[in-house]
Structure 1
Amino acid sequence: MGRHSVAKTRRKSPAAVAAAVAPAAVFLAVAGDAYQRVAREEPKPVAEVAEELAPNVEIVAAAPTAPAPALVISHASSNAAPNPAMAAARLRVVDRTLPAGVAPESGLQVRTILVARSISALFPEISNIGGVRPDSLRWHPDGLALDVMIPDPSSDAGIELGNRIVSYVMANATRFGIQDAIWRGGYYTPGGGRQGGYGHYDHVHITTTGGGYPTGSEIYYR
């Protein structure tokens, strides 16, 4: 055939074939083993996952399947002007201070003033209450007594009005510091009363324990 001839295919030795095949087998074995390890790995509990991810992840419970009730939240604006009608409906302010009544208060002591103002506020029928005046006894000169003049004192309405005023001051004897009251011959004290011979048919006489003279800064309440 001359010089040129077809090259014969050189057979590889068994050792060479084994050397070429071995790396692929090792790769497949390693890959298969890794696959098996991943497939067999158990899932971690939620608590462990949370620890690994903390503090960037928070594990929360799933929302309930039923819809939650509506929650209405009203945010008040600091710039919003108050609604006078709404404020009046929600808040009723009661002024309990007692203004000066019909009695002249000059020379009266504080508890006597409180009684005089309270009677003026509660009994508008009374238009004249006497206070400090000269007397042989010390009660009026010292600002401890009042004379509550009763309109038409001998009429049924006048008598009933005087009775109500006596009942009122005796019911509040502790707060008013009442010593006594005299009306239509009766003498009344916080401990009881007695009848006969005490006069005072046209006015209710009221005596208090005083409490001292005012300084001008007092506020009197109902």
Structure 2
Amino acid sequence: MGRHQLAKTRRKPPLLLAGVIASFAVLSAAAASPQPLVVKQEANQAANAPVVEAVSPCCLEVVPATEAGYSSRPAGAALFSSAGPAQAAAAVPAAASRWRVIDMHRVLPMSVAPERGLQVKTIFLARSIGVVFPEIRSIGGVRPDPLPWHPNGLALDIMIPNASSAEGIALGNRIVAYALENAARFGLQDAIWRNVYYTPNGPHSSGLGHFDHVHLTTHGGGYPRGGEIYYR
């Protein structure tokens, strides 16, 4: 074999090696591309993003997953339902996750009673009466009194329109009956209407008057801490 032919044969391996090196460089550049990292990062962000906007914010509340009961409230607040614990539990299921549904159609709105200084069961009673008896236009709450119930936020004065008329008397009677029928839920202590003193155990003659309004007293339940939700 001549000298020139040997030189040509010896040059081929470097050319092949250069092709291999070039291919490796292309693959390395593709592996170093930031695109796979961006996709992975976006995937992680999507997986970790909280699902908030998929549902209406009016009906959800974040609560600790370990909180028990049927309350849809911040810790330390109270929930009350004129439908009773069983119905309230059905409306607001026990905590199983960090999200809990609030049935806004069953939330009791504020009534005509000023709630400042009232305790939670008294507020619950006032709001319930405001919904069940919309003809009531005035409810008294906290006021100075030598007896402790009004000053301590435990009592309501349900003012009866045309209280001396047959319609007024019938309305007062219905309010007393409603409060007594739901005494356990409202924490009702007593009622006074047209010279009769009522307790959950029955009526008693009193001589205490109250011909123009129904007086209702609750056991209070403590003062609001903020964020209470009252269910009908």
Instruction: Specify if TM > 0.5.
Output: yes
**What amino acid sits opposite 2:144 in the alignment?**
P
Matches of 2:104 and 2:171, distance apart in 1:
27
Measured after TM superposition, the shift of residue 196 of structure 1 is 4.1
Matched, 1:108 2:115: no
| Corresponding residue of 1:117 | 127
| Corresponding residue of 2:182 | 172
**Identity fraction in percent:** 67
Matched, 1:154 2:164: yes
| Corresponding residue of 1:197 | 207
Matches of 2:140 and 2:155, distance apart in 1:
8
Measured after TM superposition, the shift of residue 198 of structure 1 is 1.7
Match of 1:134 among 144, 151, 154: 144
Secondary structure of 2:230's match?
coil
* TM-score normalised by the chain length of structure 1: 0.57
Residue deviations 1:116-173, cap 9 Å, x none?
0000001011000000000000000000000000000000000000000000000000
| Corresponding residue of 1:97 | 107
Matches of 2:106 and 2:180, distance apart in 1:
21
**What amino acid sits opposite 1:209 in the alignment?**
H
Measured after TM superposition, the shift of residue 216 of structure 1 is 1.3
Matched, 1:210 2:217: no
User: Using a 3 Å threshold, how does the CA distance of structure 1 residues 138 and 196 change in structure 2: closer, same or farther?
Assistant: closer
Residue deviations 1:25-75, cap 9 Å, x none?
xxxxxxxxxxxxxxxxxxxxxxxxxxxxxxxxxxxxxxxxxxxxxxxxxxx
Matches of 1:120 and 1:148, distance apart in 2:
10
**What amino acid sits opposite 1:187 in the alignment?**
Y
User: Taking CA–CA contacts closer than 8 Å with sequence separation of 6 or more, which of the two structures ends up with the larger relative contact order?
Assistant: 2
Secondary structure of 2:152's match?
coil
Measured after TM superposition, the shift of residue 195 of structure 1 is 2.1
Matches of 1:140 and 1:118, distance apart in 2:
19
Matches of 1:193 and 1:184, distance apart in 2:
12
Measured after TM superposition, the shift of residue 217 of structure 1 is 1.0
**What amino acid sits opposite 1:205 in the alignment?**
H
Measured after TM superposition, the shift of residue 208 of structure 1 is 0.1
Count of residue correspondences: 130
- Unaligned stretches of 5+ in structure 1? 1-92
Greater gyration radius: 1
Measured after TM superposition, the shift of residue 94 of structure 1 is 7.4
RMSD between aligned alpha carbons? 1.1
Matches of 2:151 and 2:126, distance apart in 1:
16
Matches of 1:182 and 1:123, distance apart in 2:
18
Match of 1:187 among 153, 177, 197: 197
**What amino acid sits opposite 1:151 in the alignment?**
P
Instruction: Considering fraction of residues, name the structure with more helix.
Output: 2
**What amino acid sits opposite 2:116 in the alignment?**
S
